[in-house]
Amino acid sequence: MDHSDLLQFEPAPAADGALPYYAAQAQEVALFTHAFQQRLPVLIKGPTGCGKTRFVEHMAARLGRPLVTVSCHDDLCAADLVGRHLIAPTGTVWTDGPLTRAARTGAICYLDEVVEARKDTTVILHPLADDRRVLPIERTGEQLAAAPGFMLVVSYNPGYQNLLKSLKPSTRQRFVALNFGYPDAAVEQAIVEREAGVPAAVAQQLVALAGALRRLTEQDLEETASTRLLVMAGRLHASGIGLHAACRAAIVDALTDDADTAAALDEVVGAVVAPAA
């Protein structure tokens, strides 16, 4: 099958209601589109809940490619991605894993939190991520040439990183890197309004709260208030929970188990969120 038409892709206008909603932060839509056209793999780094997954869903739909998503974890091994022989009534049959399926069918393969996966998994990405674009399937002897629409996208959260869990330079140098942060206040407010279905005034308070919590550096928090948590608090509020209680449940208690830290965060909530809300 000839996929060369895919490479002639012209970006569609941004406001297409059929696409998963994604509010852009900078040049990421253009960069991703060009990376796809140039057959370059993409690495997205950024904190949890800042829109990485939504962005990839949006881009896959925009580029008209199927999306195969794999949430990586510390037990994930190469066979989980590439495939394995399974026992069937007729004997053993080879079953493609998600990476192989994506390479064969020309899908976008998104490996979320790739640094969590076992080391042997990142090595199998190398020949797929450079000019060769092949996936050697050791068990069957197949050298699978990736279909032209195939694209490899990986993400990770640099905040989680420790020395044992970083991408090797030889791996990361194969990718175009997009650096994500939390959106600017105006963009984040638009996201919260739309995703949570709250009025602008409420979204504004939630974004102001996020700003205040993100500035808190004296608290020993592993993560801070993400856009996802703001959307969750907004949704609770939209369905009838008071705004302060919604923020306590969806943001404060989601961020910490420590009672003193929770009390300090809750004080910030009280100061930022209007008591009448």
* Cα 222 to Cα 203: distance, rounded to the nearest angstrom: 24
Q: Rule CB under 6 A: choose which of 32, 35, 40, 53 binds ligand ADP.
A: 53
Per CB under 6 A, which region of 15-23, 68-76, 239-247, 263-271 contacts ligand ADP?
15-23
Which of 28/80 has CB closer to ligand ADP?
Answer: 28
Comparing C-alpha atoms, which of 185, 180, 150, 173 is closest to residue 27? Answer: 180
Is 114 near ligand ADP (CB under 6 A)? no
Which of 46/98 has CB closer to ligand ADP?
Answer: 46
φ and ψ of 220, to 5 deg: -90, 70
Per CB under 6 A, which region of 20-28, 60-68, 70-78, 145-153 contacts ligand ADP?
20-28
Mark residues 182-221: x for contact with ligand ADP by CB under 6 A, - for none. -x-------x---x--------------------------
Comparing C-alpha atoms, which of 114, 208, 95, 202 is closest to residue 156? Answer: 114
* Cα 92 to Cα 22: distance, rounded to the nearest angstrom: 43
Is 62 near ligand ADP (CB under 6 A)? no
Contact 124, 85 (CB under 8 A): no
Q: Which of residues 33-52 bind ligand ADP (CB under 6 A)?
A: 46, 48-52
Is 227 near ligand ADP (CB under 6 A)? yes
Q: Cβ atoms within 10 A of the Cβ of 264, count?
A: 15
Comparing C-alpha atoms, which of 192, 193, 209, 204 is closest to residue 247? Answer: 209
CB of 15 to ligand ADP, least distance (A): 13
* Angstrom distances, CA of residue 221 to CA of 159, 210, 253: 11, 14, 12
Interface ranges with ligand ADP (CB under 6 A):
21-23, 46, 48-54, 183, 191, 195, 227-228, 231
